[in-house]
Amino acid sequence: IALPHWGNEYETSHAPSQEELARWLAANGADLIVGSHPHVVQDTDMLEVTDAGGNPRKVPVIYSLGNAISNMSAANTQIGLLLNVHVARDCWGSVSDIIPEYVFLWSSLPGRLKDRHCTVKVKDYIGKEKYWRQPYEYRKMVNTYLNIKALTGIED
């Protein structure tokens, strides 16, 4: 698993240099690539590469997980991804399939949901505006969630 610290801050789409490095990492043995740094969730990809034996394989790339804990309030910086990865192996023990699953997280600032910073699963709070001390924060969470899903194509 490769964990690059890369990309342009606050951009929800990956840069060509990220894809170039992802292809290099995949071609050189990475089975999964999970990036960080931009402070926002970026799009994902499934790269098709050929291994050293000439066999094709698919490598999932998550360009940026965004923020899971943050004191930031700028656009798209309070949302992040929790990544669950399911790995299937063939009868010889080799990785045959990697299936990423995504859970969107919201990093709430003190006084908006609770007295302190807290990170919650977005889907657990959809439709529960009454729990928020600051209703605008709830609306910001929902709008950001829908916007990031539309921009990145990530399904949770």
Query: Is residue 38 classed exposed, middle or buried when 0-12, 13-18 and 19+ CB atoms within 10 A define those classes?
Result: buried
Average pLDDT, the chain: 94
Q: How far apart are the first and last CA of the chain?
A: 22
DSSP secondary structure, 85-145, as one string: EEEEE-TTS-EEEEEEEEEEEEEEPTTTSSSS-EEEEHHHHTT-GGG-SSHHHHHHHHHHH
Q: What is the pLDDT of residue 88?
A: 86
Q: What is the pLDDT of residue 81?
A: 98
pTM for the model stands at 0.92
Q: What is the pLDDT of residue 48?
A: 95
Distance (Å, whole) CA 140 – CA 76 = 9
Mean pLDDT of 126-151: 97
Query: Is residue 65 classed exposed, middle or buried when 0-12, 13-18 and 19+ CB atoms within 10 A define those classes?
Result: buried
Q: What is the pLDDT of residues 5-53, one digit of tens each?
A: 999 999 999 999 999 999 999 999 999 999 999 999 999 999 999 877 8
CA angle 141, 13, 56 (to 5 degrees): 120
